A = this chain, B = another copy of it.
Amino acid sequence: MDTSKDLAAQNLIAKIIEAVGTDLMKSEQIFAEELHTDQPVIRDIHEHVSRFRGKRIRPTLLLLTADACGGINHSHHVLAAVVEMIHTATLVHDDVLDDANTRRHVATVNSRWNTETSVLFGDYLFTHSFHLASSLESTYACRQIGRSTNIVCEGELTQISERGNIDLTEERYFEIINGKTAELCAVSCSLGAYYSECTEEEIAALEQFGRDLGCAFQIADDILDIMGEETQAGKSLGSDFYKQKMTLPLIRLLQMAEPADEEIIRGLLASPSAENWEKLTPYLQEYRAIESARQTASEYATSARANLAKLPDSNSRTILEELTEFAIQRSH
């Protein structure tokens, strides 16, 4: 365990709780009320799912952005619950797609109940998130949330269709992560800004902040899938390799490898096995593929920070800046 990294993370979490902790609680309350039901089985699943919901990054982004832009109001609490609910829906469906047994050390819905229940409960979360968004006065949020979730689904469908394609281009990789990860971060920030009555220019800057941050986060996740500690990530290492998902470190490795090595690496990528995973690791080190991907994540984090420059100085702006550091430090 890297203690200094842990301390930095704990320190950041403490600052977030001080800044928007009460608002996160209000948003959690709205989340729970929206999903309140008389059906015991649905209540059980909801309770179970809430145990692996994790870091609340998207609602935190929405609330910090709102605060940095002028102040948090009821619409923000509702929308923070909406983006978290959509994210949770995608997690529940991801576990079906991956046929995963655990997430954050908790049994997934498909392993605890069954695939049918996972599919339907994910749908249930999607429909409730839209229902909740429609409780706001104008259709603006519904429209934005609808557009974003279209892009999220399109990103995931593209990812599935590219699975097994070792020749995935970097351009296509960024198209995919822009959809599946960055889009929901981007809309969280733009909604935070919009409902604080920011200028058009500020809203656009914060949307770009969220998008860049989301990309940095995703690349760091892709690195953690290769290098992280299993216990920490709560999932097996090399899962992208086994699922033949080409991530940035693997794409960079193919780009940089000498022709003779490239041939061998392609062979390993084409036949995922524990043995081939072992064989791949030295190549990742030799060609410094992780460092190359980390450099790109770092550039996204820098770009994200630059977009915050348009906002007045504030405690929440400082936390948002620190989040960009946190996004990439995880992968060190």
Contacts and interface: CB of A to CB of B under 8 A. Distances in A.
Interface residues of A, number: 47
A127 B139 contact: no
Interface in A220-261: none
Contact of A154 (B119, B124, B139): B124
A25 interface: no
Interface string A132-152: 111111110011011101101
Contacts of A154: 37, 39, 42, 124
Nearest to A132: B146
A291 interface: no
A89 to B, nearest CB: 8
A3 interface: no
Contacts of A130: 130, 142, 145-146, 149
What is the count of identical protomers in the complex?
2
B157 A120 contact: yes
Task: Describe A's contact surface by its main secondary structure.
Answer: helix
Contacts of A276: none
Contacts of A127: 126, 146, 149-150, 152-153
A139 to B, nearest CB: 5
Interface of A: 37, 39, 41-42, 45, 89, 93, 96-97, 114-117, 119-124, 126-128, 130-139, 142-143, 145-147, 149-150, 152-154, 156-158, 160-161
B96 A119 contact: yes
Given A96-B119, A114-B160, A128-B150, 10 more contacts: A41-B157, A45-B157, A96-B115, A97-B115, A117-B157, A120-B156, A121-B153, A130-B130, A130-B146, A133-B142
A176 to B, nearest CB: 11
28 contacts: A39-B161, A41-B158, A41-B161, A42-B158, A89-B123, A93-B123, A96-B115, A117-B157, A117-B161, A119-B122, A120-B156, A121-B157, A122-B123, A123-B149, A123-B153, A126-B127, A127-B149, A130-B142, A130-B145, A130-B149, A131-B149, A131-B150, A132-B146, A133-B142, A134-B142, A134-B143, A135-B143, A138-B139
